[in-house]
Amino acid sequence: MRNALRRVIPQLVTLAALVALISVFFPDVLRIEVMDGRLVGPVMDILKRGAPVGLLAIGMTLVIATRGIDLSVGTVMAITGAVAAWSITQGYGLGGALVLALLAGVAAGLWNGTLVAIAGIQPIVATLILMTSGRGIAQLVTEGRILTFSHEGLAFFGSGTLLGVPVPAVLWGATAIGVALLMTRTALGMLIEAVGVNRSAASLAGANARVLIVAVYVTSGLCAALAGIVATADIRGADANNAGLWLELDAILAVVIGGNSLLGGRFSIAASVLGALIIQTVDTGILLAGFPSDYNLVIKAGLVLLILVVQSPNLAHRWYALRRTAREQRKAAMTSAKEPGE
């Protein structure tokens, strides 16, 4: 537990610093009020709006841990949102809509996973195929329109509350905790890390790399399906062109901010989810602080660069070298200072 906490300290510090920075411009940032039986306030807003990226980041973390990448999650959101809205308007009911949307997510994950694990195509290329054609498929489902619906049951997933907390936030938190527990309490997490570090060594050691890789892409597809349902339910309509647009990049960014290496191996779901929170806090904070939203992208770029510099293997190497020479010099100075006395 203490190790897990120590792992996310940089992310927590960043988040705290961001909140402190925002509170300079907008002092009420941490205030939460109860209004009509639901909690309202900037924090709740961040938790709710950050749900899609948070959900995507959970699946993306696992994919990246196997040294892969899933560029298609944004378009899978559009497809699953379109499927959910279509099934509701066709009268399949809430259960049917949810099942069909989740199945669409699983199908997308199976497609990506098969291309990567069995056909042996580079992940970035394999998922690029669905990324370019996925919006076409979503438009095929919605027939090029924005498919709107009025169904309170489905809308609940976007704008409802559970015990006063927005449902998207609950969904996000529950998925994160569920997946994190599954990874830390079973051998799954270790096996995924093993595949990411060295796939052939993991296979030789008995891990079924093929099944594991397909499974992580399916998980990513499922997370994208949940995110798609949330996004569609939130606006009560499926927008094939704009749902989840560029969220794959935000999700990858969240994983990177979470300190996970893009080269696979050790991963932390909690850190990725905190990364998603950091991104959303920046987005919301810029609005709250009254800056024009045009600054958003530049600030994000600055953030990425900062993280890159901190994470860079080259710089870390130089830093250690610098510290070692400093230590040796100090030691040398101490011994030379002692010598005359002896």
Partner 1 sequence: MNPRLYPLAATIAIFVLAWVICVMQFPLMLSTRVIGNLLTDNAYLGIVAVGMTIVILSGGIDLSVGSVIAFSGVFIAVMLRDTGLHPLSVFALLLVVTTGFGAGMGGLIHALAMPPFIVTLAGMFLARGAAYMLTIDSVPIDHAFYDLLDDAYYLMPGKGRLTLIGVVMLLTVAIGMIVAHRTRFGASVLALGGGEAAARLMGVKVGHTTVAIYAFSGLMAGLSGIVFSIYTSSGYPLATVGTELTAIAAVVIGGTLLTGGAGFVFGTLIGVLTMGLVQTYIVFDGTLSSWWTKIIIGLLLLSFILLQKGLLRLTTARLQP
- Is 304 one of the binding residues for partner 1 (CB under 8 A)? yes
- Is 242 one of the binding residues for partner 1 (CB under 8 A)? no
**Cα 117 from chain centre:** 22
Q: How many CA atoms lie within 13 A of 288 on its CB side?
A: 24
- Nearest approach in angstroms of CB 119 to partner 1 is 6
What tokens were used for 293? 């939203």
Check the CA dihedral 202-206-210-213 and report its sign: negative
What's the rounded Cα separation, in Å, for the pair 180 and 274? 13
* Angle 16-19-23 from CA coordinates, rounded to 5°: 140
From candidates 110, 128, 188, 197, binder to partner 1 by CB under 8 A: 128
CA dihedral 270, 104, 132, 57 (to 10 degrees): 0
Residues 22-81, interacting with partner 1 (CB under 8 A) = 69
- Is 140 one of the binding residues for partner 1 (CB under 8 A)? yes
- Is 256 one of the binding residues for partner 1 (CB under 8 A)? yes
- Is 298 one of the binding residues for partner 1 (CB under 8 A)? yes
- Is 126 one of the binding residues for partner 1 (CB under 8 A)? yes
- Is 290 one of the binding residues for partner 1 (CB under 8 A)? no
Pick the stretch among 24-32, 139-147, 278-286, 319-327 that binds partner 1 (CB under 8 A): 139-147
- Is 144 one of the binding residues for partner 1 (CB under 8 A)? yes
39, 46 Cβ separation under 8 angstroms: no
Residues 259-288, interacting with partner 1 (CB under 8 A) = 262-263
End-to-end CA distance of the chain: 49
Chain residues in the site for partner 1 (CB under 8 A):
69, 119-122, 124-126, 128-137, 139-140, 143-144, 240, 249, 252-253, 256, 262-263, 294-301, 304-305, 308-309, 311-315
